[in-house]
Structure 1
Amino acid sequence: MQQRCLGVLCLLHLLLLRSCAGKVPVIIVFGDSTVDSGNNNFINTVVKSNYAPYGRDFDGGKATGRFSNGRLATDFISQAFNLSPTVPPYLDPSYAIKDFAHAVCFASAASGYDYATSNVASAIPLWKQLEYFKDYIGKLRSYQGEAKATETIREGLYIISMGTNDFLENYYAVPGRSSTFTVDEYQNFLIGIAGRFVEEIYALGARKIDLTGLPPMGCLPLERSINFPPSLSDECKQDYNRVARDFNSKLNILMDKLDKEKPDISLVYSNIYDFFDAVLKSPSSYGFEVAEVGCCGASGRLEMGYFCKFPLTCKDASKYVFWDSMHPTQKMNKLIADYIVNTTLARFM
Structure 2
Amino acid sequence: MKHLSSYFVATYNSKVFFYVFVLLWAACEGVIKLPENTTVPAIFAFGDSIVDQGNNNGIKTLIKANFMPYGKDFEAGVSTGRFCNGKTPPDLIAEELGITEIIPAYLDPNLKLEDLKKGVSFASGGSGYNPETPKLVSVISLSDQLESFKEYIGKLQGAVGEEETHNILTNSLYIVVAGSDDLANTYFTLGVSKLQDINSYTDLMVSSASSFVQEIYNLGARRIAVFGIPPIGCLPAQRTLAGGGVRMCVEKYNQAAQLANSKFSSEFDSLAEKLPESKVVYIDIYNPVLDLIQRPQNYGLEVTDRGCCGTGNIEVAVLCNKYSGTCPDDTKYLFWDSYHPTERGYRALVDQILQKYVNRFF
Q: Do both share a fold (TM > 0.5)?
A: yes
**Any residues of structure 2 matched to 1:186-201 within 5 Å, and which?**
186-201=201-216
Q: Which amino acid aligns with 1:195?
A: S
Deviation digits for residues 296-319 of structure 1 (CA, Å, limit 9, x no counterpart): 01x210111111123431121111
Q: How many residues align?
A: 327
Any runs of at least 4 consecutive aligned residues in structure 1 with deviations exceeding 4 A, and if so which?
none
Match of 1:342 in 2: 355
Structure 1 residue corresponding to 2:319, chosen from 286, 307, 312? 307
Deviations, residues 65-87 of structure 1 (Å, cap 9, x unaligned): 01111110221011111112111
Counterparts of 1:15-26 in structure 2, within 5 Å, are 19-20=36-37, 22-26=38-42
| Partner in structure 2 of residue 52 of structure 1 | 68
Give the letter for the 2:212 counterpart: F
1:269 corresponds to 2:282:
yes
Q: Is the 8 A contact 1:73 1:336 kept in 2?
A: no
Measured after TM superposition, the shift of residue 340 of structure 1 is 3.6
- Code of the residue aligned with 1:158 in structure 2: it is Y
| Residue 340 (structure 2) pairs with residue 324 (structure 1) | no
**Per the alignment, in what secondary structure is the counterpart of residue 176 of structure 2?**
strand
Instruction: Verify: 1:227 aligned to 2:227, yes or no.
Output: no
Do structure 1's residue 217 and structure 2's residue 232 form an aligned pair? yes
Deviations, residues 10-42 of structure 1 (Å, cap 9, x unaligned)? xxxxxxxx932x311110100100110100001
Query: In the alignment, which of 159, 165, 174 is matched to residue 158 of structure 1?
Result: 174
| One of 137, 142, 159 as aligned partner of 1:126 | 142
Q: Can you give the 5+ residue segments of structure 1 that lack an aligned partner in the other structure?
A: 1-17
Asked if 1 retains the 8 angstrom alpha-carbon contact of 2:47 and 2:176, the reply is yes
SS at match of 2:208: helix
CA distance in structure 1 between the aligned counterparts of 2:349 and 2:152, rounded to whole angstroms: 28
Task: Find out whether 1:279 has 2:295 as its counterpart.
Answer: no
Partner of 2:104: 88
The residue aligned with 2:265 is: 252
Q: How far, CA to CA, are the matches of 1:255 and 1:163 in structure 2? A: 15
Contact 2:334 2:342 in 1 (8 A): yes
> Percent identity at matched positions?
39
Letter paired with 2:234: C
Distance 1:144 1:341, change over 3 A: farther
**What is the CA–CA distance in structure 2 between the aligned matches of 1:263 and 1:331, rounded to whole Å?**
37
Question: Given that residues 84 and 103 in structure 1 are in contact (C-alpha distance below 8 angstroms), is that contact kept between their aligned partners in structure 2?
Answer: no
- SS of equivalent to 2:127: coil
Report the Cα distance in structure 2 between the residues aligned to 1:31 and 1:156, rounded to whole angstroms. 17
Note the C-alpha offset of 1:98: 2.1
Counterpart of 2:279 in structure 1: which amino acid? S
Letter of the aligned partner of 1:19 in structure 2? E
Which stretch shows the higher mean deviation, 53-62 or 302-311? Answer: 302-311
Q: Corresponding residue for 1:7?
A: none
| Equivalent residue letter for 2:320 | C
Contact 2:52 2:105 in 1 (8 A): yes
Structure 2 alignment gaps of length 5 or more: 1-34
Question: Any conservation in 2 of the 1:32–1:110 contact (CA below 8 Å)?
Answer: yes
State the structure with more CA Rg.
1
1:254-305 CA-partner distances (Å, limit 9, x unpaired)? 11221221241111121111111111111112111111110001x2101111
Are residues 1:109 and 2:116 paired? no
| Distance verdict in 2 for CA 1:82–1:113, change over 3 Å | same
Give the Å deviation of 1:213: 0.7
Greater relative contact order: 1 or 2 (C-alpha under 8 angstroms, separation 6 or more)? 2
1:87-145 superposed Cα distances (whole Å, 9 cap, x missing partner): 10000110123212102100000001111000111010000000000000111111111
Q: Which amino acid in the other structure matches residue 71 of structure 1?
A: K
Tell me, yes or no, if the aligned pair for 2:279 and 2:361 is still in contact at 8 Å. Answer: no
- Distance in 1 between residues matched to 2:152 and 2:95, nearest whole Å: 21
The residue aligned with 1:3 is none
Q: Please, which moves more after superposition, 157-166 or 263-272?
A: 263-272
Distance 2:221 2:361 in 1: 14
SS at 1:189 equivalent? helix
Q: Which string of whole-angstrom CA distances, capped at 9 and with x for unpartnered residues, describes residues 191-216 of structure 1? A: 00011011111111111100001111
Shift of 1:179: 4.7
Whether the 8 Å contact between 1:77 and 1:338 is mirrored in structure 2 is: no
